[in-house]
Amino acid sequence: MENLKQRIESYNKKFDEYENKPLKEEQTFEVIEGKIPVLLSAPHSVRQLREGKIKGKDRYTGAITIELAKQTNSFAIYKTYNNQDDASYDIENNEYKEKVLELINKHNIKVFLDIHGAKDTDEFDVDIGTDEKRNLNGKTQILENLIKNLNEKGITKIGIDKKFKACTMHTLTKKIASSTNIACMQIEITRKYRDLEQVEKMEKIINAIKSWIKEIG
């Protein structure tokens, strides 16, 4: 059986390959359907275009999302092509956001977790954006359980709305929270927890989120 590093490398190949291919399909994202009513999202798994400027991808967020979905039987959506857009930032004509809402309504999703990557910082290892808990739609226990699971895996430097608050409609989390009554959070994972050279750290973050998802299911 493949170990975690091998699986992440295997999943990540597709994102590297996608970036170097011309767009041949109309759909610029892929979906994994599951049974646990949690929807994971990686809108920056490939490069994006924001306000006329190309921004780099949040490396390994797509692969981590796939790993989590497969290990927990939850739902997932992730970008596969840069179609001159930003699936997280764009407000108008955003097929990715529309698909997220469709999945939530069709499958009675209870929790939405938008997965992003941050630079290494002394401020936090993980920053969870909730817009002062407004995006939780009253379901604060969801956040408390995530923090508990992170702590249990040794991840204690956790920011809540420290830098990435998910407080504007340019964020998927705020858009989905405003359009539904489910608990929504944006999680920013620093680079050292998305580094295959420090795979033991990546394993900690994956196992923490995996345990949290299983509690929801």
Q: Which pLDDT does position 86 carry in this prediction?
A: 72
41 beta partners: 77, 114
pLDDT tens digits, the chain, 217 residues: what are they?
A: 469 999 999 999 888 776 656 555 567 889 999 999 999 999 988 776 666 677 767 899 999 999 999 999 999 999 988 777 776 776 777 889 999 999 999 999 999 999 999 999 989 999 999 999 999 999 999 999 999 999 999 999 999 999 989 998 889 999 999 999 999 999 999 999 999 999 999 999 999 999 999 999 7
Q: Which pLDDT does position 217 carry in this prediction?
A: 79
Report helix angle 61-72 to 4-19, nearest 10. Answer: 130
First to last CA, the chain: 26
Q: Which pLDDT does position 2 carry in this prediction?
A: 67
* Dmax (CA) of the chain: 44
Q: Which pLDDT does position 1 carry in this prediction?
A: 44
Residue type, 206: I
Report helix angle 199-216 to 140-152, nearest 10. Answer: 140
Q: Which pLDDT does position 83 carry in this prediction?
A: 73
Evaluate whether 68 touches 74 at the Cβ level (below 8 Å): yes
